[in-house]
Amino acid sequence: MSLLEFDHVSYQYPGEKFNIVDDLSFSVEQGSFHCIIGISGCGKSTIFRMTNGLLKPKSGSIYVGGRSIVEQKHYCGYMPQKDLLFPWRTVGENLALPLEIMGGRSRAEQRDLIDDALADVGLEGCRDKRPEELSGGMRQRAAFARTMLTGSDLLLLDEPFSALDFLTRISMQEWLLKQWEKHQKTILFITHDVEEAIFLSGSVLAVTKTPIHTLTEIPVPAEYPRTRECLTRPEMVSLRENLIDVLRKQVQP
């Protein structure tokens, strides 16, 4: 069953002369993990901003769970590209945000949910710390826990690991796959890192042309659960090189 569907969606930023997203249709199956790759400025984050309702399409419709998103609230968790945690709030207060927005829970219930979510991402005992007291990887895990607390099936993660050093990044990738397997969410994940995309995705959604009219779906020939060893298989190496080629051709016409 498809969880997310774009039906002939277009978007034009005010002041721009053309649609950045132009008559785009695609759908995403429930429980899948897709990375979206494409060159900088091609409109990847714009797709997320429309999916979460921050931007309204110029035309076309977006459906989640078969219903138009204009009739729904709290249908997706969104982890933006920047400004992950509010520095003036403690970690616990940051995680409380989606619960405060949704309402309907007592302070004590919120506290229990937050403690469980922090334990789930290995951050027990960090509730009263400020974001600046955490390492980069810990901050990403806290932001992920906050995204999970929306309770939504659909998670939109915009370059969540791009600011991390290589070793932290690969351990976060393994950690994220475990979280996905455990919680059975549907994840869309934007990245510039082709190796990250093929390690995580069931199939990669590539932006091969702008304006974005289609997303090219490229299956990844590896089963889950995965370990990094799969990246050394010849078919994975050639997929990685092909994808790098596809992206390069767009920056060096």
Ligand X SMILES: Nc1ncnc2c1ncn2[C@@H]1O[C@H](COP(=O)(O)OP(=O)(O)OP(=O)(O)O)[C@@H](O)[C@H]1O
Interface contacts to Mg ion, rule CB under 5 A: 45
13 binds, among Mg ion, ligand X, none (CB under 5 to 8 A by kind): ligand X
Count of CB atoms within 10 A of residue 195's CB? 18
Of the candidate residues 45, 94, 152, 201, the single one contacting ligand X (CB under 6 A): 45
44 contributes a contact to ligand X by CB under 6 A = yes
Q: How far is CA 11 from CA 70, 97, 168, 190, in A?
A: 16, 29, 36, 19
Q: Residue 191 or residue 201: which is nearer to Mg ion going by CB? A: 191
User: What distances in angstroms separate CA 229 from CA 32, 77, 200, one per listed residue?
Assistant: 21, 30, 13
Work out which of 4, 35, 42, 148 binds ligand X, going by CB under 6 A: 42
Q: Which value, to the nearest 10 degrees, does the dihedral of the CA atoms of residues 134, 138, 143, 147 take?
A: -150
Instruction: Give me Rg for the CA atoms of the chain.
Output: 18
Is the bond into 211 cis (omega within 30 degrees of 0)?
yes
For residues 10 to 29, the per-residue mask of contacts with ligand X, x marking binding by CB under 6 A and - elsewhere, is: ---x-xx---x---------
CA-wise closest residue to 231 among 195, 206, 194: 195
Report the residue number, 13 or 224, with the smaller CB distance to Mg ion.
13
CA dihedral 45→237→230→232, nearest 10 degrees, is -130
Query: CA-CA distance, 51 to 57, in Å (whole number)?
Result: 9
Does 46 interact with ligand X (rule: CB under 6 A)?
yes
Between 179 and 208, name the residue whose CB sits nearer to ligand X: 208
Supply the minimum distance, in Å, between the C-beta of residue 109 and ligand X.
36
Pick between residue 13 and residue 224 the one whose CB is nearest to ligand X. Answer: 13
Q: How far is the CB of 72 from ligand X (least distance, A)?
A: 23
Nearer residue to ligand X within complex by CB, 42 or 155: 42
In the bound complex, what is the minimum distance in angstroms from residue 4's beta carbon to ligand X? Answer: 17
- Nearer to ligand X among residue 38 and residue 131 (C-beta): 38
Give the strand pairing for 186-190 and 59-64.
unpaired
Q: Which chain residues interact with ligand X by CB under 6 A?
A: 13, 15-16, 20, 38, 40-46, 81
